[in-house]
Chains A and B, each alone.
Chain A
Amino acid sequence: MSWLQRMAGEAPVPVYVARGIDASHDDLAALALDANIELVATPRHAAVLLVVGTVPAKFHDGLRRLHDQMPRPATTLWYRSRPLPEFDAPHTLSKTDRLAPTLTDLYRTLYGRTPQPVLLPDRPPAPWRGLGDYGQGGEGMMGGTPYGRPMAMTDDDLRDGLQLDALGFTLGPFFGPWAPGLLMHMSLQGDVVQRVSVQSPPFPQAPPTVFGAALRGAVPIADLELARARSHLFGLAHSLETAGLRSLALRTLAHAARLRPGVDIGLMRGWLRRCGLFASVPPGCGQLTRTQAIRIGGTAARAAGQPMDARLEDPAYRRLGFSVIVQDAGDCRARWRQWLGEIEQSLALADRAAGENVYTDQTEVVETPRGRWRRGAGIADASAVLEELLPGMEWSEAMATIASLDVAAGEPGEGGEP
């Protein structure tokens, strides 16, 4: 290996993460916090494609696209996931504590390996049609498929009625800023979303195991509330990353990793306010109507002023002095404020509960960070709300709204009852 290759091998490993079903937040947070690993936004910047969790067969083509879009030299690591059949000698891993070292080893030995050929057929995306030399010509002003793809056609506009070309694309199941598995076809005019259609809802996310255990028997309230606070911190970190504040997002993840009852988040609240996260979206961005809020449930409903919380039905919480926090507006800022408020509340409750060693009284229903979970029924998927919410929004507002909402279905994972 030349000295350049040796030097390149010492750099932080650029990894693109494709999350499947049961990709746990904790593993990915541990990766993000590792100084030797850099999670990148696009496979063009990556050397390793990390596939976490099972990927259903209908999304295998998307995975192949991601694999082919990586510049060579590159490799793939399948973590708790079944590799695609095209791979002869795939790199797999199932042990958690070996994830970062395995990635580093794979990266360091990249140059010595023969590159994996592209998985999809080497053909233009659409067969050339038309009369002219470059595939152009046909009916209408822009008939034919020049260079293998059609040209964009005009379409209506929501905001000012000027009919210019609409860009349509399907934003895939492995898009970083979104929940894993969410596949939406978007039609943009300029950078304002005109139409959104959810082609596949996000993968069901199991809440942390302690919530499933709460439906089978009493659990310490301190554990429950800590898990809730940690989940909200992950949501805040995700929103910070989408707003361009990667270092502060990592700081939030570090807070989540060492969370204990009674920790004061006043400092964090301070720099969240000063960094301008709340000012980054206009007021009223991503406002939910009452029906939409009730449909999504959980934190989003409380942020929209609906005092729905399953903890109200639990006498143990009432004894600890629990009262529901709600916000007035149902917009992005309110949801972020709601997360912050609930984190503070959860940490205070956990502190009091740990001190008195209080257990939950209620085992029929539990309030997860995603919403109300009754024993025997899952949490319904609410991604159809995005189809009503996003049209008319400019791109960054749409991304901030999706980051502030959690619309995945909640399925009982390990530890719950189907």
Chain B
Amino acid sequence: MDLLALLIVAVIALLMAWLLQRPSLRRPPLAPYPQRAPFLGGGTVDSHAWSRFHVRYYPMTLLLIAFEMEMMFMYPWAVVYVEEGIKALAEMGMFLAILSVGIVYGWRERVFRWQ
């Protein structure tokens, strides 16, 4: 039922957004090449932009995956926390402390810099 409501909201929003882009029945003619050239202040580009881009923050994404798994664990933990009491806090504190060591290690290994 909730999911049906979400679906209805999504469909209405997609429709609104599609209409705002002023869709037309006829496909508009393709603009001439000079109009489609990329903007570079009057300059030219050597190649297509699509390339094997050197993503400089790649090591950070590996650390992110570890924290994402912790996040997944914390969702059910939040719901049962008040019943479980201080023991639950201690367990989560330990988990966070272990992962924080990962952050400190990453910081020292310059993982958060542009490689």
Query: Is A192 a contact partner of B41 (Cβ separation < 8 A)?
Result: no
Interface hit among A88-96, A154-162, A257-265, A322-330:
A154-162
Q: Contacts of A190 on B, CB cut-off 8 Å?
A: 53-56, 114
* Shortest Cβ gap from A191 to chain B (Å): 7
Interface hit among A163-171, A234-242, A369-377:
A163-171
Query: Is B43 a contact partner of A68 (Cβ separation < 8 A)?
Result: no
Query: Is A42 a contact partner of B39 (Cβ separation < 8 A)?
Result: yes
Query: Is A173 a contact partner of B32 (Cβ separation < 8 A)?
Result: no
When C-beta atoms are compared, the residue in chain B nearest to A71 turns out to be B35
Q: Among the listed B32, B44, B49, B56, which residue makes an inter-chain contact with A192, where contact means beta carbons less than 8 Å apart?
A: B56
Within 8 A of A (CB), among B19-76: 32-35, 37, 39-56
Residue from the set B41, B43, B56 with the largest chain A CB neighbour count within 10 Å: B41
When C-beta atoms are compared, the residue in chain A nearest to B53 turns out to be A190
Query: Is B42 a contact partner of A62 (Cβ separation < 8 A)?
Result: yes
What's the interface size class on A, roughly?
35 or more
> Given A151-B47, A167-B49, A169-B46, is A175 in contact with B54 using a C-beta cutoff of 8 Å?
no
Query: Is A150 a contact partner of B56 (Cβ separation < 8 A)?
Result: no
Provide the bound-state CA to CA distance between A165 and B41, in Å. 23
Query: Is A164 a contact partner of B52 (Cβ separation < 8 A)?
Result: yes
Query: Is A122 a contact partner of B34 (Cβ separation < 8 A)?
Result: yes
Query: Is B114 a contact partner of A394 (Cβ separation < 8 A)?
Result: yes
Query: Is A69 a contact partner of B52 (Cβ separation < 8 A)?
Result: no
Provide the bound-state CA to CA distance between A164 and B54, in Å. 6
Provide the bound-state CA to CA distance between A171 and B45, in Å. 8
Q: Contacts of B55 on A, CB cut-off 8 Å?
A: 190
Q: Among the listed A63, A118, A151, which residue makes an inter-chain contact with B51, where contact means beta carbons less than 8 Å apart?
A: A151
Check A78 for interface membership: any CB of B closer than 8 A.
no
Query: Is A150 a contact partner of B41 (Cβ separation < 8 A)?
Result: no
Q: Among the listed B42, B51, B53, B56, which residue makes an inter-chain contact with A65, where contact means beta carbons less than 8 Å apart?
A: B42
When C-beta atoms are compared, the residue in chain A nearest to B35 turns out to be A68
Check A111 for interface membership: any CB of B closer than 8 A.
no
When C-beta atoms are compared, the residue in chain B nearest to A65 turns out to be B42
> Given A43-B39, A171-B41, is A157 in contact with B48 using a C-beta cutoff of 8 Å?
no
Enumerate chain B interface residues (CB-CB to A < 8 A).
32-35, 37, 39-56, 114-115
